Structure 1
Amino acid sequence: MSTISQILKSRVDRCALIPFITAGYPNIEITESALRILDHEGADIIELGLPYSDPLADGPIIQEASKHALSDGMTFNKLLELLDRVNGEIKAPLVLFTYYNPILARGIEVFLEEVSCAGIKGLIVPDLPLEEADYVISLCTKFSLELILLVTPASPTNRIAKIVEKAQNIIYVVSSTGVTGLRSNINLEMKDFIHDIKSVTSKSLILGFGISNADHVSQISRWEIDGIVIGSAFVKCLMHSDYKQGLDKLQIFCRTIKESIIERSKCS
């Protein structure tokens, strides 16, 4: 299986599609089915969120999904069991989104080794202190994981420079201030911000937070971006009382977004 950065670099004619879902929402069986559906519908990379009790970077939709998953008994060990079941069957590499505290509670090296053995290829930790990133990066290198650092336009210029320099291969550009969630418009100033980062690094850039429909994707696909992350809109598909209908909505939405990316690449 290709690494996350190899997937992003290979998409020279279009952006990579990176859907996000919450592990264990609405239950572990649906998560497994959703992973297979997203992979079948052409997701290039899939981001899987580990539910956490204090998800500071997440908006109301993902917060609710995380709360529900935890109350339903979702645990890190169950995540590992899920990953073992799909490992080798899903073509798209998996990125784990988690907060720093669950990593510390497990033990940094133990956590990283376990997720790597279970098939995870990338890691996003939004509250990882930059000062502690070097140690985590060294362990990620040891276990063939790619740590994806986040950067936001609200960050001071010198801090942005440090993040860009320290990042392994991929930088996650946060497209809006605040938490994740559905938004009606895309911040057009992000295009210039992305251009500025691209001018100083050859590392891949993925864009996320607030991207929620085909119009957003069509617009962003014109920018100098390597991958588009969509979270709340995918999670919302699964917020259906009928689980099968939720999976059907997820499948249709993924297909629609993928087609939007492909159509934009044909026009460019």
Structure 2
Amino acid sequence: MSTDSGGNRALLESTLAAAKDEGRAALVGYLPAGFPTVDGGISACTALLEGGCDVVEVGLPHSDPVLDGPVIQTADDVALRGGVRIADVLRTVREAHAATGKPVLVMTYWNPVDRYGAERFAAGLAAAGGAGCILPDLPVEESEGWRKAAEEHGLATVFVVAPSSRDERLAKITEAGSGFVYAASVMGVTGTRESVGGRAQDLVARTRSVGELPVCVGLGVSTAEQAAEVAGFADGVIVGSAFVKLLLSAGEDLEGGLAGVRALAGELAEGVRRTG
């Protein structure tokens, strides 16, 4: 895959459109870079995509991940203690994309990007073949500088909405964003749940009513059954903590963890393809 022609926002958009044309939701996986090691994280992201994910989000580990639950916090801590750097995050994007040809996003809190430099980060992400950036804590009102840099480098800017978001807020977010809208299925932090919650369906409907972007649902999906449920009303199903948990439970058995990740991706891919 060429990575010298700018970002891959168009690849992300075409991937989501192709899933829709197939009459299904897209499957989006998440794993933090540098976990359990930088090389192990690259292998894990590649395994997600090879196993059945259409898109992968590479997390940029943060010392204070306020929106993440204990599973992802633990993985972030492992990565940070291992010395992961932004260069390693970009390498993860580059190698996972090059190995599969599929769209790869970075999910990050705003502070690391701001400190690194928005233009510098956008240029580096585009050069790595990245498709865009999910910024859960960047207010739309303060995002113009980032969005300009992202647009110049062919990157999508994905914002997060929650059940508490009012309709006028949803309209502002969907107008400013690109690629897709990340709909948090429940209030609270990331983590697997017994039920994804009925509020997610209402949030998707409200978000669609005020904009044209696809809406992908995350926070809580961990089984094929839950994936099928969410796929019935959303354009994409996002799964993170379930994959991280598999790698954590595998301990030093990286190959076993990768096999588990690949198998779960396959099960979830079957789930998003169920109809009725």
Alignment TM-score, normalising by the size of structure 2: 0.91
Q: Kindly provide the CA deviation profile for residues 122-161 of structure 1, in whole angstroms up to 9, marking residues without a partner as x.
A: 1001111221122211111100100001111112333222
Percent identity, aligned pairs only, is: 32
Partner of 1:149: 159
Name the CA shift for 1:87/1:208 in 2 (closer, same or farther; >3 Å).
closer
Q: Kindly provide the CA deviation profile for residues 25-81 of structure 1, in whole angstroms up to 9, marking residues without a partner as x.
A: 111121121122122222111111011111111111000000110001111122233
Unpaired runs of 5+ residues, structure 2, are 1-7
Aligned residue runs from structure 1 range 115-264, under 5 A: 115-223=125-233, 225-239=234-248, 240-241=250-251, 242-262=253-273, 264=274
**Matched residue SS, 2:159:** strand
Query: In structure 1, what is the Cα distance between the partners aligned to 2:172 and 2:93?
Result: 33
**Matched residue SS, 2:31:** strand
- Could you tell me how far 1:227 is from its partner in structure 2? 0.8
1:91 matched to 2:101: yes
Alignment TM-score, normalising by the size of structure 1: 0.93
Structure 1 window deviating more from structure 2 (14-23 vs 194-203): it is: 194-203
**Matched residue SS, 2:220:** coil
Partner of 2:19: 11
2:180 touches 2:215 (CA, 8 Å); kept in 1? yes
Query: In structure 1, what is the Cα distance between the partners aligned to 2:204 and 2:181?
Result: 11
1:137 touches 1:168 (CA, 8 Å); kept in 2? no
Q: Kindly provide the CA deviation profile for residues 75-130 of structure 1, in whole angstroms up to 9, marking residues without a partner as x.
A: 11222333444443222110100111111111111111111111211100111122
Query: In structure 2, what is the Cα distance between the partners aligned to 1:157 and 1:195?
Result: 11
- What stretches of structure 1 move > 6 A for 4+ residues in a row? none
Query: In structure 2, what is the Cα distance between the partners aligned to 1:42 and 1:71?
Result: 30
Query: In structure 2, what is the Cα distance between the partners aligned to 1:169 and 1:76?
Result: 23
1:74 matched to 2:88: no
- Could you tell me how far 1:169 is from its partner in structure 2? 3.8
Unpaired runs of 5+ residues, structure 1, are none
Structure 1 window deviating more from structure 2 (19-28 vs 185-194): it is: 185-194
Query: In structure 2, what is the Cα distance between the partners aligned to 1:151 and 1:9?
Result: 21
Instruction: Write the letter of the residue equivalent to 1:100.
Output: W
1:39 touches 1:91 (CA, 8 Å); kept in 2? no
